[in-house]
């Protein structure tokens, strides 16, 4: 079975483990994680993310974007830098990522920061539309606020709501709009009943697998940096929740992931 980790921060994992990117991708491949998408969080790591993918083009693709968690440090010029890079249409750049909305951090919900979050999201959705790229979305305690932005944007290539933790009704609204739902380590925790039930009920072709490494650890590996190979634990849990065979689950999700994030053309 073949797997595609559709949301990683390999540059930060490499730093956390003091381990070269090449070794990380090799370890992932040994567990069947053949492809990985590495996403940016700010203009400061655009160059590093790009370099990682260019070093290992058979395994990696990358996305460039301005993460809402760091909205305080983002500047207007960062949007200009982002557009300049997207305009180059590098075939290895297959997403505008990581973008979205953040409401779990109180300081980022104040009027000034919330307006800035919304403005940056809107501008990046326009860039995704202009350069015909899918998006990889951060949405924490903000599913209901995010949906209207996506509905208004009407992206042809849509994308994924990554690391989804929410209700079935919220997920279905995204899916009905053409978006995929990112399945991560959350479902490996028995207490995550709402998210587990949501993932069990959604159409299989609406799901993607991801790690968000080095974040979002799977059960049993708390306190450790998450790694792409731990995605197999999430996959095993997913298979327990679903009625399809493991082979069917793997094949469908591989196809969906590859179709969305492997080629920018």
98 is in an annotated binding site: yes
- The contacts of residue 101 (CB under 8 Å, 6+ apart) are 68, 117, 118, 121, 138, 139, 140, 142, 145, 146, 149
143 is in an annotated binding site: no
Closest CA to 213 of 18, 16, 31: 16
Cα Rg, the chain, nearest whole Å: 17
Return the pLDDT at 263: 81
Closest CA to 95 of 64, 70, 119, 126: 64
Q: Which two tokens stand for residue 113?
A: 């920061």
β-pair partners for 33? 3
The CATH code of the domain that includes 124 is 3.20.20.140
138 is in an annotated binding site: yes
Return the pLDDT at 265: 56
235 within 8 A of 257, measured Cβ to Cβ? no
Only one residue has tokens 């849990």, namely: 237
162 is in an annotated binding site: yes
Return the pLDDT at 259: 96
Terminal CA-CA length for the chain: 26
Angstrom distance (rounded) from CA 263 to CA 40:
18
Return the pLDDT at 264: 62
212 is in an annotated binding site: yes
- pLDDT, block means (10 residues), the chain with 265 residues: 97 96 96 97 97 97 98 98 98 98 96 98 98 98 98 97 96 98 97 96 98 96 95 97 98 98 79
- The contacts of residue 221 (CB under 8 Å, 6+ apart) are 230, 233
DSSP class of 243: S
Return the pLDDT at 116: 98
How many domains, the chain? 1
Return the pLDDT at 159: 98
pTM: 0.97
Return the pLDDT at 187: 97
| Segments forming the whole domain that contains residue 87 | 3-262
User: In Å, how far from its chain's centre is CA 119?
Assistant: 20
24 within 8 A of 213, measured Cβ to Cβ? no
């Amino acid at each position: 079975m073949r797997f595609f980790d559709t949301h990683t921060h390999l540059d930060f994992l490499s730093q956390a483990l003091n381990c070269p990117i090449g070794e990380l991708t090799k370890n992932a491949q040994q567990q069947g994680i053949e492809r990985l998408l590495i996403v940016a969080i700010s203009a400061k790591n655009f160059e590093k993310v790009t370099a990682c993918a260019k070093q290992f083009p058979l395994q990696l693709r990358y996305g460039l974007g301005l993460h809402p968690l760091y909205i305080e440090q983002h500047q207007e010029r960062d949007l200009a830098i982002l557009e300049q890079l997207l305009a180059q249409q590098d075939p290895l750049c297959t997403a505008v990522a990581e973008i979205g909305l953040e409401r779990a951090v109180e300081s980022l919900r104040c009027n000034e920061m919330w307006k800035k979050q919304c403005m940056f999201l809107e501008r990046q959705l326009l860039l995704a539309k202009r350069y015909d790229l899918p998006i990889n979305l951060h949405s924490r305690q903000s599913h209901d606020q995010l949906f209207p932005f996506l509905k208004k944007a009407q992206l042809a290539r849509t994308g994924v709501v990554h690391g989804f933790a929410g209700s079935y009704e919220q997920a279905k609204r995204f899916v009905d709009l053409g978006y995929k739902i990112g399945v991560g380590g959350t479902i490996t925790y028995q207490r995550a009943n709402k998210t587990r039930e949501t993932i069990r009920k959604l159409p299989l072709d609406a799901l993607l697998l991801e790690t968000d490494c080095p974040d979002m650890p799977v059960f049993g590996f708390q306190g450790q940096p998450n790694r792409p190979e731990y995605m197999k634990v999430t996959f095993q849990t997913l298979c327990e929740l679903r009625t399809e065979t493991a082979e069917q689950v793997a094949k469908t999700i591989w196809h969906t992931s590859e179709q969305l994030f492997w080629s920018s053309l």
